């Protein structure tokens, strides 16, 4: 068994073992759990990285493996997580947030841009990251809002918990393209598009490093979808927020993301740029998604084509 000698240098605790010196993180810092033995579970491995990475994510519930070695990197713009219903897209987001089913066994690591590497089995550390680290924009925006509190009250609460003093409820609504007069409204008085933008304003109030977006336009009409996607792109770019965009609609995701990962039955079956996936899909699941997206584009062209009366 390795012998360790601990001593204090100023206010940082170091551990010397076999000639190596490793800093112990202060209270509140994220850690990586490496199992029993040496090094201790609280040692935080800091590796410089400019990107957010998910490494070897697995999730087992009872006898079933729901996610198997899911891995991806958010770099060079937003990343799309694509796949049919039940492929594991939303579950992947839940595992990153520490919200997997209570009886599920999760493994893998989350690498952040500041160098921290957090074990995805460590729900307490992941809970500490929610807000300033990772924030979720849920699929049903209206259902995620508190029905008995005004928009202003909900924004002020998040700003008090996670804000940095620069944002106000008015400035956040302006950021997402809404008027300040909506601050006094309750969620039931908002349209679907307005509720989606308010939910985005609530997410941005946390100043997250990574925004996880789960089917953000599923309940919106076509015009509201276009507006929501435009606001999502501009606000994330303005605040330098990394975006993970979950969708089963490849055509929709292609308007937002440059890179994509395709899931099927809890596994990554294909990954690449949108141009590569559209141009030469390899896996049958990807081919099906591409075919559906092309049919959608054809319908759009038919809808947007001028009628006989317009040509006269």
Give the model confidence (pLDDT) of 104-123 as tens digits: 999 999 999 888 899 999 99
Q: What are φ and ψ of residue 232, in 5° steps?
A: -60, -45
At residue 301's C-alpha, the angle toward residues 298 and 302, to 5°, is 90
Strand 259-264 and strand 242-247: the pairing is unpaired
* Edge-first strand listing for the sheet containing 259-264: 134-137, 210-214, 242-247, 79-82, 259-264, 267-273
Q: Are strands 259-264 and 267-273 parallel, antiparallel or unpaired?
A: antiparallel
Least confident of 38-52, 125-139, 195-209: 38-52
**If pLDDT is split at 50, 70 and 90, which confidence band does 34 have?**
very low
pLDDT at 46 over 90: no
Give the model's pLDDT for residue 144: 85
* pLDDT of residue 103 exceeding 50: yes
For the cut 50, the answer to whether the pLDDT of residue 251 exceeds it is yes
Distance CA 60, CA 81 (A): 20
Q: Which two tokens stand for residue 287?
A: 């081919």
pTM of the model: 0.76
3-state SS class at 287: helix
Query: What is residue 297's predicted lDDT score, i.e. its pLDDT?
Result: 62
Distance between CA atoms of residues 186 and 49, nearest Å: 42
- What is the helix (H) or strand (E) element at residue 272, kind and residue range? strand 267-273
């Amino acid at each position: 068994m390795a012998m360790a000698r601990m001593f204090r240098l100023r206010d940082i605790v170091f551990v010397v073992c076999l000639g190596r010196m490793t800093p112990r993180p202060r209270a509140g810092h994220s850690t990586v759990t490496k199992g029993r033995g040496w090094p201790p579970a609280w040692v935080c491995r800091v590796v410089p990285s400019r990107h957010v990475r998910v490494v070897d994510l697995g999730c087992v519930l009872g006898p079933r493996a729901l996610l198997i070695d899911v891995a991806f990197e958010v770099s060079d713009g937003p990343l799309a997580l694509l796949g049919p219903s039940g492929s594991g897209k939303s579950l992947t987001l839940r595992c990153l947030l520490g919200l997997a089913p209570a009886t599920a066994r999760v493994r893998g690591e989350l690498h952040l841009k500041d160098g921290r590497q957090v074990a995805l089995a460590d729900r307490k550390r992941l809970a500490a990251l929610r807000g300033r680290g990772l924030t979720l924009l849920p699929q049903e925006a209206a259902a995620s809002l508190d029905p008995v509190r005004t928009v202003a009250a909900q924004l002020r609460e998040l700003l008090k918990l996670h804000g940095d003093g620069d944002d106000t409820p008015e400035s956040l609504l302006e950021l997402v393209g809404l008027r300040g007069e909506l601050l006094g409204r309750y969620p039931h008085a908002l349209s679907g598009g307005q509720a989606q933008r308010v939910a985005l304003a609530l997410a941005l109030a946390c100043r997250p490093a990574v925004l996880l977006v789960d089917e953000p336009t599923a309940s919106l009409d076509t015009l509201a979808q276009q507006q929501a996607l435009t606001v999502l792109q501009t606000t994330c770019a303005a605040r330098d927020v990394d975006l993970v965009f979950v969708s089963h609609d490849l055509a929709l995701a292609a308007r937002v993301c440059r890179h994509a990962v395709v899931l099927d039955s809890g596994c990554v079956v294909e990954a690449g740029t949108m141009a590569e996936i559209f141009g030469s899909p390899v896996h049958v699941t990807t081919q099906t998604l591409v075919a559906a997206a092309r049919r959608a584009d054809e319908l759009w062209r038919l809808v947007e084509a001028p009628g006989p009366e317009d040509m006269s």
